Structure 1
Amino acid sequence: MSGSQARVARTLDLLTAGLGPAVQQAMSAEFGDGWVDVARQAFRNERMATVMARLEPSEWDAQALLTVMWDQWNAVFRHRLGLLERSLVSELRELRNRWAHQAEFSDDDLYRLIDSTFRLLRAVSASDLILRQLARLKLDVLRDMFSRQIEEERAQANARRDRLTEVVLFVVSGFAVVVATLVSLAPRNPLAGMLLVAFTLLTFGYLIVQRLRRPVMTHSVHECPVCRKIIYTEVCPYCEAVPPPKFLLAKSKEPVPEPAESHQSA
Structure 2
Amino acid sequence: MAVSYRAQVATAFEVLADGLAPFVDDRMSTAYPDEDWVLMAATKLGKRRDVLVSLSDPHFQLEVINRWWGPAFAAVLGEDMRQTITDLRTARNHWAHPDEDHPFDLDYALRVHQWVEDVLRACASPEADHVVALADQLRWDGVRDQAREKGMSEADALMEQLTELQKAYDELNAHLAEARAAARSATGRQRAVARQLAELQSQYAAVSGLRDEYLALRRQLDEERTKREALLQDTTAVREQLARAEAVLDGLQEESTSLRQQLATTRASLSDVDPAETEAGRRWIWLITALVVVMGVVIVLASELPR
**Structure 1 length-normalised TM:** 0.49
Which one has a bigger Cα radius of gyration? 1
Q: Which has the higher contact order (CA 8 A, sep 6+)?
A: 1
Of Structure 1 and Structure 2, which has the larger fraction of its residues in helix?
A: 2
**Structure 2 length-normalised TM:** 0.43
